[in-house]
Amino acid sequence: MDKKKQIAELIQPISDDLLSGAAEIALKAIFIYQTVMNLEPSADLAILKADIYETARALVECQPAMAPLFHLSNKVLFATQQANSPAELRKSCQSALDEFERNLCESVAKIAELVYDLIPPGEMVFAYSFSSTVVSCLLNARARGRYFRVACSESRPSWEGRKLSTRLASGGIEVIHTFDSAMGIVLPTCSVAFMGCDCVGAPGLVNKVGSLLLALSCQEMGIPLYALCGTEKFVSDERLFEFENHERPGGEVWSDPPKGVKVVNRQFELIPTKLITGLVTEAGVLKEADIAQHLSKTPVHEALRLEPAGF
Amino acid sequence: MDKKKQIAELIQPISDDLLSGAAEIALKAIFIYQTVMNLEPSADLAILKADIYETARALVECQPAMAPLFHLSNKVLFATQQANSPAELRKSCQSALDEFERNLCESVAKIAELVYDLIPPGEMVFAYSFSSTVVSCLLNARARGRYFRVACSESRPSWEGRKLSTRLASGGIEVIHTFDSAMGIVLPTCSVAFMGCDCVGAPGLVNKVGSLLLALSCQEMGIPLYALCGTEKFVSDERLFEFENHERPGGEVWSDPPKGVKVVNRQFELIPTKLITGLVTEAGVLKEADIAQHLSKTPVHEALRLEPAGF
């Protein structure tokens, strides 16, 4: 089979994945890089490098709002640069993958520590959409003996809220589940709200559509809203707006609309940082003013540089 | 068949109707009163009165947020009071029903005149949930030659937004349809937003859940939001909060939630009047300060008086 096609097939499940958060998707991508490196045991250095370039480009393009996919791919690309043999390349890529995975896990553990202190005992907590970081932090707090309930909404059109409810309930957390536009009914019973985040830049956060309504409601009702995200979600402003290229098929919202009805299915939106009480990162709880100094200054590998906008 | 059961069966479709707005439901109730009056041609005066009492109570109870059902039933009950024979009763009830229907239609026609002037030519208009008044006004404006597009959302869990899209598209209006939490994505493209309304009192308006998120978004984005409603929607504050008794089955939101997940399905919520730019009524576009003088001062028939809250 043509190699490009083979790589595209490996990546397809990530492209189709509407239920996983950004950190979870990065973990799946680590497995894909390992598979690609070993697709052809006898491949020479040039072929291996070309396969990794192809994988990196395709991964970043298929989920443009997911910052960890970009940083992971960028690190892997730089790891290929100094290798002088297939064995060296495999070794340096594997060590980049291992380091990324270790940092991701350590980062979630630190965030969970901070979140524990943000959950008032015995209260109701709101959680939006599906973020593996949010789930880990809530389950960790429950396992450490903090009692609280979680309210959440279904997250149309892909129902990530059902996945969230199921995971939390299986971890012994009592869940109140409703539809998305009923946020205004359940939020007044909540003391704090948490959401994940796919991408952070100076103008704001990118997260699942609906996060903006949540943020506006929290602001109006005086409920603190925290976005849980390691600094692997921080990107340059230029890359931040890549999420706007992510339009999903209208049929996922309404499979048979009548003539004259255009169905719009966007997956991500921008939430201005001023609407967020704090970003809980492995480097502490950051406020709007702290974000600039954490923005990504990592050099970007040429394979991932964005084309300048033109005519 | 037992009469009470027979009336309950007639009313069941109104109880189950999650797709129609308050004015549309009042028109269906007029037909039910006509049917009940003629169920038993040989019924004596006492039986006829009892049947109408039963119908009125059951109708108001089955959709407690719908003010026109209350006013219609209240008028019919007063119409029965002076009748001295079955024929007189049928005649005075029929004339109360006719008058109510006529007023409702005249009221919608006047509201449509006012709405025409609120639609900026060539712009996008947002419409939420399903209101026969909103649909009539938009179709009327289109028929009078005003060109505009409508954006709307699906209105989970009962999909009234699909009914709205279908009706508007069949009347030649181009519709942009999305899911509810994507309001934040489409609203910035809209110049004005319209919603129906089931009930108005001094503290605010009662309408389909999701209206509060719409109102908060419109406030933040500087988009004028009008509620279209005849003064037949105005009630006493005491009756306004009856909507809180209207909990729907959780299975309509999620049919098979896992153990530990409680599904909440509320249908209506209160929107503070300060979030609404204006109430478009047959008496003009009312602002917050104007509402008090229009609040319902009609005497309430004893059959419909609310029990005082107790322990």
Residue A160, domain member (yes or no): yes
Strand intervals (E) in B181-224:
192-195, 199-201, 204-208
> Are A138 and A261 members of one domain?
yes
* CATH number, residue B139: 3.40.50.10470
8 Å CB contact between A103 and A78: no
pLDDT of residue A1: 63
Task: Tell me the average pLDDT across B161-187.
Answer: 97
A178/B216 touch (CB, cutoff 8 Å), yes or no: no
In a domain, A301, yes or no: no
pLDDT at B1: 63
Give the pLDDT confidence of A182-219 residue by residue, as tens digits: 999 999 999 999 999 999 998 899 999 999 999 999 99
Are both B252 and B159 inside the same structural domain? yes
- Please tell me the distance from the alpha carbon of residue B22 to that of residue B242, in angstroms, as a whole number: 15
Q: Is the peptide bond before B157 cis (omega within 30 degrees of 0)?
A: yes
Q: Are residues A103 and A30 in the same domain?
A: yes
Write out chain B residues lying below 8 Å of A209, CB-based.
179, 181-182, 184-185
From the list B57, B69, B72, B65, the residue with the least C-alpha distance to B304 is B57
- Do both A96 and A119 map to the same domain? no
Whether A236 shows a pLDDT value over 70: the answer reads yes
What pLDDT, on a 0 to 100 scale, did the predictor assign at position B3? 85
Q: Is the pLDDT of residue B74 over 70?
A: yes
Question: Amino acid identity, residue B243?
Answer: F
CA-based max dimension of chain B: 62
Contact A181 B185 (CB under 8 A): no
pLDDT tens-digit readout, A246-262: 789 999 999 999 999 99
- The total number of structural domains in chain B stands at 2
Query: Do B242 and B181 fall within a single domain?
Result: yes
Poorest-pLDDT segment among A230-244, B32-46, B253-267 = A230-244
Residue pLDDT, tens place only, B261-306: 999 999 999 999 999 999 999 999 999 888 888 876 778 888 888 7
Q: Are residues A151 and A62 in the same domain?
A: no
Quick check: A262 contacting B, CB < 8 Å? Answer: yes
Identify how many contiguous H helices and E strands chain B contains and give both numbers: 11, 11
Tokens of A301: 């590998």
Average pLDDT, integer, range B1-6: 84
Query: Please, are residues B237 and B270 in contact by the beta-carbon 8 Å criterion?
Result: no
**Residue B310 located in a structural domain:** no
pLDDT cut 90: percent of chain B above it: 73
Tell me whether residue B302 is in a domain. no
A163 touches chain B (CB under 8 A): no
The band of A309, judged by pLDDT with boundaries at 50, 70 and 90, is: low
A246 touches chain B (CB under 8 A): no
B305 domain residue, yes or no = no
Q: Are A53 and A303 in contact (CB under 8 A)?
A: yes
pLDDT band at A56 (very low <50, low <70, confident <90, very high): very high
Angstrom distance (rounded) from CA B271 to CA B268: 10
Mean of the pLDDT values across residues A82-103? Answer: 93
Bridging pattern class, strands A225-228 and A192-195: parallel
Residue A214 contacts by C-beta under 8 Å, 6 or more apart in sequence?
A: A126, A128, A183, A187, A193, A195, A225
Could you tell me if B31 lies within 8 Å of chain A, comparing CB atoms?
A: no
Report the CATH number that the domain containing residue A71 is assigned in CATH. 1.20.120.420
Mean pLDDT, rounded, of chain B = 92
Radius of gyration of chain B (CA): 20
Q: Indicate the residue among B71, B88, B105 that finishes a domain.
A: B105
Same domain, B223 and B114: yes
What pLDDT, in 10s, does the model give residues B176-198? Answer: 999 999 999 999 999 999 999 99
CB burial of residue B189 (10 Å; 0-12, 13-18, 19+): middle
In a domain, A22, yes or no: yes
Order the strands of the A284-286 sheet from edge to edge: A284-286, A278-281, A225-228, A192-195, A124-128, A149-153, A175-178, B261-263
Please tell me whether residues A84 and A205 are part of one structural domain.
no
Residue A39 has pLDDT above 60, yes or no: yes
Q: Is it the case that residue B310 has pLDDT exceeding 90?
A: no
Examine the fold and report which residue of B89, B105, B121 is the final residue of a domain before the chain moves on. Answer: B105
On whether any CB of chain B is under 8 Å from the CB of A295, the answer is no
Q: What is the mean pLDDT of residues B27-55?
A: 92
Q: Which residue in this structure is represented by tokens 């921080």?
A: A234
Contacts of A187 in chain B (CB under 8 A): none
Selecting from B156, B166, B261 the residue whose C-beta is nearest the C-beta of A156 gives B156
A269 and A148 within one domain: yes
Q: What residues of A are in contact with residue B260 (Cβ under 8 Å)?
A: 169-170, 172-175
**Overall average pLDDT of the A14-21 stretch:** 85
Of A109, A132, A153, which marks where a domain is finished? Answer: A109
* Whether the predicted pLDDT of A303 surpasses 90: no
- Residue B242 within any structural domain of the chain: yes
Residues contacting residue B37 through CB under 8 Å, at least 6 positions apart:
B48, B51, B52, B89, B90, B93, B94
Q: pTM value?
A: 0.90
Counting residues of chain B whose pLDDT is more than 70, the rounded percentage is 98
pLDDT at A179: 98
Whether B26 and B135 map to the same domain: the answer is: no
| Domain hosting residue B94, numbered range | 3-105
Say yes or no: B32 and B160 in one domain.
no
- The string of DSSP codes covering chain A is --HHHHHHHHHHHHHH--SS-HHHHHHHHHHHHHHHHTS-TT--HHHHHHHHHHHHHHHHHHSTT-HHHHHHHHHHHHHHHT--SHHHHHHHHHHHHHHHHHHHHHHHHHHHHHHHTTS-TT-EEEEES--HHHHHHHHHHHHTT---EEEEE--TTTTHHHHHHHHHHHTT--EEEE-GGGHHHHGGG-SEEEE--SEEETTEEEEETTHHHHHHHHHHHT--EEEE--GGGB--HHHHGGGGG-BPPGGGT-SSPPTTEEE--B-EEEEEGGG-SEEEETTEEE-GGGSGGGS--PPPPGGGPPPPP--
Give yes or no for A180 touching B (CB within 8 A): yes
Q: Cα distance from B266 to chain A (closest Cα, Å)?
A: 8
What is the 8-class DSSP label of residue B226? E
Categorize the per-residue pLDDT at A238 as very low, low, confident or very high, splitting at 50, 70 and 90: confident
Whether B307 maps to a domain, the answer reads no
Report how many Cβ contacts below 8 Å link chain A to chain B: 154
Average pLDDT over chain A, rounded to an integer: 92
Identify whether residues A139 and A126 lie together within a single domain.
yes
